[in-house]
Every structure is written in C-alpha cells, then in structure tokens.
Amino acid sequence: MSGLEDISRHFHEKIWSLQQMLDLWVVELPQIKMKKFGQELCGLERLLEEFEKCVDEQKQQLQKLKEMQAVYQQALQDVQHMKDHMPPHIPRMKSALSGKEAGMKPKEGVDIQPAPAGNPKKTSRNFTKEMSFITTLEFESIPQYMRGRVSYEQLNAAVSSMNAAATAKYKILHQPVKGLSNHARKLHQRFKDQENKETKGQFFVVEEDIREFTQMKVDKRFQGILNMLRHCQRLRELRGGGLTRYLFL
C-alpha cells in the first residue's frame, strides 16, 4: 500500500508542478523554462505509460491468482468429499494370522489355548488366507437383480464375518491338539473331517463355521451374498459328502 501512496504522491507533485507553470503562462517565460515544461510533460507521459503497463501486468497476475484459487478450492472440495465418503472397508493385502477376528467375537464355549512357548518353525501353515474386501467398482459391476437390497457396506460386512470365521477355524487347526480344550478338540476333529484331496492347501469355511464363530445369519439373504462374492471371484463352492465348502480365492 505504501508503494501506491508514493506513486500517487509523485504524480500529484508532477501535476502540481505543471499546473504552476501553466498558471504562469500569462507571463512571458524564458525559453529555458518552456523547454523544461516540455521535458516535464514528456516525462510525466512516459511515467503514465509505465504505470499503465504495470497495472496491466498486475491484472494478469491477479487473474492467474484467481485461477489458482479456483483450482485450490476444487481440490479442497474433492478432498473433503473423499473424507466424507471414505468406505469403511479398504481392500488390503493378505495378512498374517492374528488373534483379532475383524471385530467379530467367537461364540461362548470355544476355548482356544495359546500355543506352547518355544521357537516353532515358521511355515505357510501359520497363515490364514483372507478374502479381500469388495471395491466400489466391483460392487457397481454386480447386476442389480443379484444385488437386491444388499448395500456395499453389508456385503463387505459379510466378507469380514467370513474372514473372522476362517481366522478362528485355522487358529484352532494350527495348534497342537493337546493344547486345546475339549470343545476346541471336537472342532479340530470336525475341521479335519471336512478336508479332502481337493481342499489340500486351500482355505475354506462351511456354514457351520460361520454359525460357530460369527453372528451372521445363514439364511436366504446369505445365499444371495454368496452369489455376489462368486461373481466378484472371492470364493468358489466345492460340494461333496453332503457338505458345501466355500473356498477362498
């Protein structure tokens, strides 16, 4: 602001000086004074041209700043939109088996004892394959007739429940039988009986596992969810021996 005030003051002084010369025009001025008057007038004209040039440059700069402000505001709105619509489930890579079961607690009666102390060998049996969550694009690719009234959040909640069931199941299978409670031993034997040649090296759950370890209802709606998960290539069914196994892909 002080720069503009200085420029304004300078212009006023120049104009005042020229005005004084004009007021004395009635008096015959020496030739040298007339020459100085012309020089002052030309100098003021050049100064005005420079000032106009600076004003134009500042206008262009202001326009660029306004454009940058618009871009910034749009980016801010986009970030806020992303923050307000962050999906509760983010697709992630397979993780190691842990005691957490995606927020789902096993039903009462399942006593899973900790593994005995020592240095157990780290093998692939210490891991449980988890089903990755459904992305919004995948959900939108599911035909409407197949989706029905199931929402994106409900579908991923089912994925979380199935992961919880698999985690609890294979945590029992990965422990020595002698370290398990009586109920857990029965479950261990049941899990082993469900396996066959086709399930070797595969991770799967059955409806009974879902009932045992989660609160999810195994009903007609659940069957519709399974259809959607098959459509998204998250699992496949393996039938045999009066049992339907849901293999994680």
Same domain for 159 and 59?
Answer: no
Same domain for 128 and 75?
Answer: no
Higher pLDDT, 121 or 225: 225
Same domain for 11 and 61?
Answer: yes
Residue 138 — very low, low, confident or very high, per pLDDT cuts 50/70/90?
very high
The pLDDT assigned to 47 comes to 75
In a domain, 117, yes or no: no
- Judge whether residue 117 has pLDDT over 90: no
Q: What is the pLDDT of residues 206-242, one digit of tens each?
A: 999 999 999 999 899 999 999 999 999 999 999 988 8
Last residue of a domain, one of 34, 58, 84: 84
pLDDT-wise least confident of 30-34, 85-89, 222-226: 30-34
Say how many C-beta atoms besides its own lie within 10 A of residue 207's C-beta. 16
Q: What is the pLDDT of residues 185-195, one digit of tens each?
A: 999 999 999 99
Whole-angstrom Cα distance, residue 45 to residue 9? Answer: 16
In this prediction, residues 124-143 reach a mean pLDDT of 85
Higher pLDDT, 79 or 42: 79
In a domain, 89, yes or no: no
Whole-angstrom Cα distance, residue 93 to residue 133? Answer: 10
Give the CA-trace dihedral at 226, 232, 236, 242, to 10 degrees.
10
In a domain, 91, yes or no: no
Say how many C-beta atoms besides its own lie within 10 A of residue 185's C-beta. 15
Contact 128, 213 (CB under 8 A): no
Same domain for 143 and 227?
Answer: yes
Same domain for 233 and 133?
Answer: yes
- Judge whether residue 123 has pLDDT over 60: no
Same domain for 75 and 145?
Answer: no
In a domain, 212, yes or no: yes
- DSSP structure string for 123-144: -GGG----PPPPPHHHHHHS-H
Higher pLDDT, 110 or 207: 207
Same domain for 79 and 132?
Answer: no
Whole-angstrom Cα distance, residue 108 to residue 184? Answer: 11
Residue 111 — very low, low, confident or very high, per pLDDT cuts 50/70/90?
very low
In a domain, 147, yes or no: yes
Contact 107, 71 (CB under 8 A): no
Query: Which structure tokens are listed for 141?
Result: 């690719």
Same domain for 171 and 237?
Answer: yes
- Provide the terminal-to-terminal Cα distance of the chain, rounded to the nearest Å: 68
34 is in which domain, residue-wise? 2-84
Higher pLDDT, 202 or 86: 202
In a domain, 98, yes or no: no
Same domain for 138 and 68?
Answer: no
In a domain, 159, yes or no: yes
* Residues whose CB falls within 8 Å of the CB of residue 226, separated by 6 or more in sequence, listed in order: 235, 237, 246
Which amino acid appears at position 17 of this protein?
A: S
Number of domains in the chain: 2
The pLDDT assigned to 77 comes to 85
Higher pLDDT, 22 or 93: 22
In a domain, 17, yes or no: yes
In this prediction, residues 144-159 reach a mean pLDDT of 92
Whole-angstrom Cα distance, residue 68 to residue 75? Answer: 10
Contact 106, 168 (CB under 8 A): yes
The pLDDT assigned to 153 comes to 92
CATH code for the domain in which residue 221 is found: 1.10.10.1890
Residue 167 — very low, low, confident or very high, per pLDDT cuts 50/70/90?
very high
Mean pLDDT of the chain: 79
Same domain for 136 and 240?
Answer: yes
Higher pLDDT, 185 or 24: 185
pTM above 0.85, yes or no: no
Same domain for 128 and 221?
Answer: yes
